[in-house]
Structure 1
Amino acid sequence: MKKILLTLTGVLALSTAYAQTDDNMNEATSTSSDYNRWSVEVAGGVNKVQRPISTGYFQSTPSFYNADFGVRYMFNNKFGLKLDAGYYNLSEDSDSMEFESHYYRADLQAVANLGRIMSFETWTNTFGLLGHAGFGYAQLKTEDKAFTDRMLNFMAGVTGQIRLSNRVALTGDFSTIFNARQDMAWDGQNPANVGRGFQGIMFQGTAGVTFYLGGAEKHADWFAMDSMLQQKIDDLEGRLATIETGLTDSDQDGIPDMFDAEPNSMAGVAVDQKGRTIDRNGNGIADELERYFDTKYGTSNATASSGADVKSLINDGYVNVYFDFNSANPTTESVAGINFLVKYLKANPSATTEVIGYADEVGNSDYNKSLSTKRAEKVKQILVDAGISGSRLMISGNGEDASVNKSSKEARQIVRRVTFKIK
């Protein structure tokens, strides 16, 4: 019996040590606040003794009743310990001589969350499974004889779980109890007459309720560490993807898109620290291009060669006319940009141009399509009033420009515009 006791004690010690080691290993990724560890367990059910029992005495199959009460602490979401106590009423069936015995026990048991170990969380968040085993102290008494049989026991079993909420779970348990040094038969009428070792055997089945204690959302029974880590990994990967996307420099102005207030600025044009085209007079033309236009394409320098350069710049979107929100009238500052187009068209009488209107994404798409057309028509009228024949001007409303961040006020200002295409 000593060898058996030493072996079982070793198993229990190793389980507890592994639980503590596993808890330390998980400390880097979880804390005690991640899940609750304490629980209280109440259960009741039936029992059936196997041996020893006196000749002529029989117990019902199953026999009512027994009651269990326990307190459990989980080191982590896989291993823990529980201290529990049980009471068992043992009585005869209809074919037996009368007897009534009472069995009391208290055990310290190691608990393994088999549901987490076998990754139940991959297919259910409702059903769980616990395994438990441990040693304890027990007493057997009977109604008609004044004696107390004191013994050691070993108990092992499995407990099925049904989670009703994060605070309550239903349980169903099946366990086997082995008694050592049992001197009397279960009926209490005669000596046991058994050898050394764990000779007394009893089976029990119970149904009960587990109440989870603590301030966290879930108990360790239902806390899936792997799932939590995977969620954290997914979150980090999502953040990295957002950063990588934000570091893209769409307009190649040296400012990443996530910090760029004007992510579609003209290529090659100087920008400020926020990626905005430098346009101090707000006329829709970058300052450095404005100086180039004044130098290369002033009224006295309107040559064919310089005109070709200007045509390229206009067609590449370096000249724009801007509008306020929900307005078809150009801003006062950006009207000056039309002068460059007027200069070009007067210097190149055979040239025609397409006047293209845009709107931001705010509002109804059909309305924005109409608004972009009205903006193009307004700019055409300004060109006609400046002496350009309407037959040389074609208008089109391209509706919404979705190339910028819709939530950015500055970006929306950029796309409320009219651009030109020289043909």
Structure 2
Amino acid sequence: MKRIMLPLFVTVLSLGTATAQETPGFNKWSIDINGGISKPTTPLTTGYYTKDYNLFHADLGVRYMFNNKFGLKVDVGYDQFENASKSASFDGKYYRTDIQGVVNLGRVLNFEEWTQRLNVQAHTGIGYAFMTNDRFEGTDNMLNHIIGLTGQVKLSERIALNADFSMINNVRQSNTFDGGIAPEDRGFNGTLYNATIGLSIYLGKNAKHADWYYEESKVDKLAELEKRVGDLETMMNDSDKDGVPDYLDAEPNSIPGVAVDTKGRTIDRNNNGIPDELESYLERNYGGSGNSGAGLSNETIKDMINQGYVNVYFDFNSTQPSSSSVSGLDFLAKFLKANPSAKAEVIGYADEIGNTDYNKDLSHRRAQTVKTILAKSGIEASRMTIVGNGEDNSVAKDSKVARQMVRRVTFRVK
């Protein structure tokens, strides 16, 4: 039997070395070291008993995983047992070597969907064993079959704590565990239990071992799908209701009802800062001549500014104007340059999310930022005063789109 097991062990090692590069996603080799207690149960001679917990048991195994679910293990084990206090005296030792198949139940049962630190493996196999005892000469040679469960706790990507419980059944055991003559039975006539704790040490250059490696699970895929749907819904938002989704909208805060181009920008052919549609409305209702807007009076433009048609908008908790607000800044700057005696109040607002005092300060800082930008564009700072009006609660607090409308700076021209 020794002649069979040694070449088989070498064959397993050779197979692992030859195929180690086939699946680069995880490591395949590990060394399993365990120690604990053993308990022989049958056969025992009448009047002979072993201790309930015999110290000690030790085993050493080399494991190779073909994939993250199935593998092969070669191990050796040693058990020592002696008589209980009320038994006749004996001292026995048991040695074995086995080749076992391993099933990584944690991956088979998708443990990764609820834990990534706990695992369970099942193992079973056959091997050769022999026993010695102070009550007989020589060795008792036998075959064995082993089956067990191993629980694992991952300590790191290189090491795991394990606890194993195994049952070993011997075939053709000639002597009892106490050293007597076993009953004439050439089948499974000997049983031994092991309970151990130990370590699995992982070998290889990859980040994970097969014990803990898993491909993207159904849960992960569902979460990713939900995120994609959410991102798509966000992309399709149309904050200013101009028919152009926000992700394509160059001006996501354009005036409602005003015509826009395919990029969501208000149409302003004469580049005077007033959307053409709004300009036509003002000319019809407030007078003026021509199509360029040149006939609009200063009072008309001032009214338009003071009624809130010109605003600078901000992202959540930001003091920097959004890129779509450049036209509002440009419009006011042009008006103030054309009217050197005019002065303006720069009035900041915030939405209702967050602390009221903080929002008051945020609105003031937004107004200060706009004033600084206008000053750098050529408007004297002395012509502008800033006001932080704090929270604007005129829109629904639970509406993300509505809150975008009140995160703004508006103006009052004098």
TM-score range, shorter chain: 0.5 to 0.7
Q: Distance in 2 between matches of 1:335 and 1:325?
A: 17
Q: Cα distance 1:318–1:53, how it changes in 2: closer, same or farther (>3 A)?
A: closer
What does 1:25-40 correspond to in 2, within 5 Å?
36-40=27-31
Q: Distance in 1 between matches of 2:392 and 2:265?
A: 18
CA contact (8 A) 2:118 2:151 kept: yes
Q: Cα distance 1:275–1:168, how it changes in 2: closer, same or farther (>3 A)?
A: same
Aligned amino acid, residue 164 of structure 2: D
What does 1:154-233 correspond to in 2, within 5 Å?
154-188=145-179, 190=181, 192-215=182-205, 218-222=208-212, 228-233=217-222
* C-alpha distance after superposition, 1:125-161 (max 9, x if no partner): 6554433222222223446765343322111223333
Match of 1:365 in 2: 362
Aligned amino acid, residue 200 of structure 2: T
Match of 2:411 in 1: 418
Q: Distance in 2 between matches of 1:419 and 1:280?
A: 26
In structure 1, runs of 5+ residues without a counterpart are 1-30, 340-354, 376-395, 404-410
Match of 1:20 in 2: none
Match of 2:73 in 1: 82
Q: What SS class does the counterpart of residue 173 from structure 2 fall into? A: coil
- Measured after TM superposition, the shift of residue 40 of structure 1 is 1.9
Aligned amino acid, residue 45 of structure 1: G
- Measured after TM superposition, the shift of residue 56 of structure 1 is 5.7
2:310 counterpart of 1:320? yes
CA contact (8 A) 1:358 1:372 kept: no
Q: Cα distance 1:287–1:94, how it changes in 2: closer, same or farther (>3 A)?
A: same
TM-score between both structures, scaled by the size of structure 2: 0.62
What does 1:12-27 correspond to in 2, within 5 Å?
none
Q: Cα distance 1:371–1:57, how it changes in 2: closer, same or farther (>3 A)?
A: closer
Q: Distance in 2 between matches of 1:132 and 1:262?
A: 65
* C-alpha distance after superposition, 1:197-250 (max 9, x if no partner): 111111222222222344555545456768x43134213311321122212233
Q: Cα distance 1:88–1:287, how it changes in 2: closer, same or farther (>3 A)?
A: same
- Measured after TM superposition, the shift of residue 257 of structure 1 is 0.2
CA contact (8 A) 1:131 1:158 kept: yes
Aligned amino acid, residue 237 of structure 1: E
Q: Distance in 1 between matches of 2:266 and 2:246?
A: 14
Match of 1:247 in 2: 236
- Measured after TM superposition, the shift of residue 95 of structure 1 is 5.0
Q: Distance in 2 between matches of 1:161 and 1:419?
A: 70
Q: Distance in 2 between matches of 1:272 and 1:317?
A: 25
CA contact (8 A) 1:356 1:398 kept: no
Match of 1:351 in 2: none
Aligned amino acid, residue 167 of structure 2: T
What does 1:268-283 correspond to in 2, within 5 Å?
268-272=257-261, 274-279=263-268, 282-283=271-272
Q: Cα distance 1:415–1:50, how it changes in 2: closer, same or farther (>3 A)?
A: closer
- Measured after TM superposition, the shift of residue 61 of structure 1 is 2.7
CA RMSD of aligned residues (A): 5.2
Aligned amino acid, residue 411 of structure 2: V
Q: Distance in 2 between matches of 1:118 and 1:332?
A: 63
CA contact (8 A) 1:321 1:337 kept: no
- Measured after TM superposition, the shift of residue 262 of structure 1 is 0.9
CA contact (8 A) 1:283 1:334 kept: no
Q: Distance in 2 between matches of 1:335 and 1:181?
A: 102
Q: Cα distance 1:320–1:148, how it changes in 2: closer, same or farther (>3 A)?
A: same
Aligned amino acid, residue 135 of structure 1: I
- Measured after TM superposition, the shift of residue 374 of structure 1 is 9.1
Q: Distance in 2 between matches of 1:201 and 1:48?
A: 9
CA contact (8 A) 2:244 2:262 kept: yes
Q: Cα distance 1:318–1:32, how it changes in 2: closer, same or farther (>3 A)?
A: farther
Q: What SS class does the counterpart of residue 364 from structure 1 fall into? A: helix
Match of 1:9 in 2: none
In structure 2, runs of 5+ residues without a counterpart are 1-21, 291-295, 314-318, 322-327, 338-344, 352-358, 373-386, 396-403
Q: What SS class does the counterpart of residue 64 from structure 1 fall into? A: strand
- Measured after TM superposition, the shift of residue 89 of structure 1 is 2.6
2:140 counterpart of 1:140? no
Q: Distance in 1 between matches of 2:187 and 2:349?
A: 90
Q: Distance in 2 between matches of 1:322 and 1:56?
A: 97
What does 1:50-69 correspond to in 2, within 5 Å?
50-54=41-45, 57-69=48-60
Q: What SS class does the counterpart of residue 170 from structure 1 fall into? A: strand
CA contact (8 A) 1:72 1:80 kept: yes
CA contact (8 A) 1:325 1:416 kept: no
CA contact (8 A) 1:266 1:317 kept: no
Q: Distance in 1 between matches of 2:132 and 2:115?
A: 44
Q: Distance in 2 between matches of 1:88 and 1:263?
A: 77
Q: Distance in 1 between matches of 2:333 and 2:46?
A: 114
CA contact (8 A) 2:148 2:166 kept: yes
- Measured after TM superposition, the shift of residue 86 of structure 1 is 0.6
2:254 counterpart of 1:265? yes
TM-score between both structures, scaled by the size of structure 1: 0.61
Larger Rg: 1
Aligned amino acid, residue 367 of structure 1: H
Q: What SS class does the counterpart of residue 147 from structure 1 fall into? A: strand
Q: Pick one of 76, 100, 105 that aligns with 1:109.
A: 100
- Report the count of equivalent residues: 341
Q: Distance in 2 between matches of 1:332 and 1:370?
A: 16
Q: Cα distance 1:263–1:109, how it changes in 2: closer, same or farther (>3 A)?
A: same
- Measured after TM superposition, the shift of residue 77 of structure 1 is 5.2
CA contact (8 A) 2:61 2:74 kept: yes
Percent sequence identity over aligned pairs:
41
Q: Pick one of 109, 129, 141 that aligns with 1:150.
A: 141
